[in-house]
Amino acid sequence: MTKSKIAAVSLHTTPLDVFGNFETIRSAIFSKDAQDADIILFPELCISGYGCEDAFYRPKLWEKSFQVLNQIKDLSPNQVIVVGLPVFSNSFLYNCMAVLFDGKIQALVPKLNLANTGVHYEKRWFHAPNEFQTKQIPFAGELIPFGHFVFSFRNFRFAIEICEDSWSSIKPSQIYNVKGTDVILSPGASHFAMGKQNIRRQIFKETSRNQNNLQVFTNLCGNESGRIIFEGGAFFASGGMIVKEGPRLHFTPFEITSHNFDPNEIRASKARNFREPNPNLIANEIPIIVLKPVLDQEANGKFRLKVDDKRETGNSQVMENTESLSPFEEFTKAVSLGLYDYLRKSNTKGYTLSLSGGADSATCALLVSAMAEIARNENGKDCFQKLGIIEKNLLVTLYQKTKNNSQITEEIAKSLSEELDCEFHSISIDEMVSSSVSLIETIKGTKLNWQEHDLALQNIQARVRSPLIWLLANLNGHLLLSTGNRSEAAVGYTTMDGDSSGSIAPLAGVSKEFLLDWLDDIQKGNNRYITPKHSIQLLRETKPTAELKPLAEHQEDEKDLMPYPILNSIERKLVYLGDLESEVLEGLRTEFPWETKEQLLGYIQKFKKLFGISQWKRERLPPSFHLDEYGLDPKSSYRFPILSNET
């Protein structure tokens, strides 16, 4: 029995950092985990980075990517290396995978199905052929096979379908498979969303069962370009089962998941179970490219793989089984990874946070603390020192109180900072608020009061806090965390240039209801990354409140808006599902039977009004992470007119 080995690499890349990405790719190829693999598979667009956006139009980016490709092809010529890059040919830019072997570019395979939904806008930059291509193109002075091929290598055949190709209803692999393909390589740039890995597993398991072949998926990992987090999680599927799966959401530069297989076992399965589909899907012939060295040399000087002992990925043996993560733990690790990558890619020294004693700011503090712990576990105790970050200054918090703040929220903020062992300060801003109000009273010639000027008097408190927390963040050399969640973004329950201020909004991709449930899950001891906290217990015994009105009014978020579960349900039905108002009402009456029809209808109409007039706020919010099945970030998830009137 002759077995073959494939190494699937998930790795961190940075858009436009072509030579930095090359170093990570090179380290992976030279690692001990990949040295005896027949094929080393890398993710989609790993040379240029996936999130280059309109920089994909730059010829210099294509040229640099090709320079790197030329270097990669000589690193280990006796192995097949499959890497992704943008390729310009005959007036069009393509998203391609390059197949390298024997020191040559054996073929360039363009993506057929471009992802253009949700957070992906590939059709803005790339062209996709509308049928299989089998031609040659001039590329760097040579004629290179360009198109869709079956590759014959040693004792098996493989083909490539790129990310979205594997998700489409008519997969290229259906045609490749009829041509006797044993292995389908699926390099991806598939974004993180809670629970999405289960969907991937389901797709590839069913495809491997249906086609009776080995399906190999690999993915980018990390917060690549600011908004989208990739989760790694390479895996192999065969016979309807996941036979090997690698680490997800890893903080290490790369992780390699390898699998040994016997092509004869695949062929025996085909003989027993596979039947040619009717009607015949093959519109034209798929050529077979035989990968064979021009000089049939054994592993000597040119062909010997030099193992690099400088791999800096941490110890994958201590990484947890991410397959068993709950949605709350997935959220914890994904946001922690996003925060870690923001630090190292922006070359800043930590995070500053306006800690209010409420759920949102407490969540941000907990996630920064979790990020630090996970990073140390996976990248070594000195990982922050290597980044030039002083750990004791990693998180700095500031409680900015007014006469409208209760004693309990300051106690929660101080207690949480002590439990997380981070720097904490508390100041009073009443004098600044009064000074600001007095100046405007002088201009207007009137005394401001809570009966007539409620909103303005609330907002000035949030806006006075903003320059102070920004000043502290600048002095610290920190990024400023904005604490808003998706529920607040939906209805504009945030003060522009106040509590919306920040460098990044890590919670804006999830609802307030989810965040409160997440805190409760921690207190139950269910989160492997965060232990229960006394401060969180105190927090959950209080009602969410902005604390911007006089204490005697007992301000609460859900009194200002509506109960958060109802808000979340309306938002999902109206925004994500696009239901009619009557359909939303019918659904709410089933979910919340204790509410009257009139009350529910009032909530729907209030949400619609607030959502429509708040788009300008969403346009100005800091960048956020895509974390759930949908988001409201107009840059990456949901585009909506600033001026509208839905009747």
- Range 540-547, long-range pairs (CB < 8 A, 24+ positions): 540/516, 542/408, 542/409, 542/412, 544/358, 544/359, 544/512, 544/516, 545/358, 546/458, 546/493, 547/356, 547/402, 547/404, 547/405, 547/406, 547/409
Q: Helices 454-476 & 430-444, crossing angle to 10 degrees?
A: 130
597 is catalytic: no
Residue 44 is among the residues annotated as catalytic for this protein = yes
190 labelled binding-site residue = yes
Mention every residue, 6+ apart, whose C-beta is less than 8 A from residue 82: 39, 40, 41, 42, 97, 98, 99, 100, 160, 185, 187
**Residue 308 exposed, middle or buried by CB count within 10 Å (0-12, 13-18, 19+):** middle
| Annotated binding-site residue? 386 | no
**636 assigned binding-site residue:** no
- Give the whole-angstrom CA distance, residue 379 versus residue 148: 39
C-alpha angle with apex 181: 180 to 183, nearest 5 degrees?
155
Q: Is 196 annotated as ligand-binding?
A: yes
Question: Whose structure tokens read 């608020």?
Answer: 433
Please tell me the distance from the alpha carbon of residue 305 to that of residue 295, in angstroms, as a whole number: 17
Q: Is 364 a catalytic residue?
A: no
459 annotated ligand-binding residue: yes
φ, ψ for residue 278, nearest 5 deg: -125, 135
Q: Which of 111, 171, 401, 414 is catalytic?
A: 111
Q: Helix or strand or coil: residue 382?
A: coil
Helix axes 327-346, 359-379, angle to 10 degrees: 70
Please state, in angstroms and as integers, the Cα–Cα distance from residue 308 to each residue in 24, 254, 498, 543, 585, following that order: 12, 14, 50, 56, 62
- Annotated binding residue 617: yes
Side chain identity at 173, as an amino acid letter?
Answer: S
The one catalytic residue among 96, 163, 364, 422: 163
Q: Which residues are annotated as a binding site for L-glutamine?
A: 190, 196
Q: Which residues are annotated as a binding site for deamido-NAD(+)?
A: 459, 488, 617
Q: Which residues are annotated as a binding site?
A: 190, 196, 459, 483, 488, 617
Q: Which residues are annotated as a binding site for ATP?
A: 483
Q: Catalytic residues, which ones?
A: 44, 111, 163
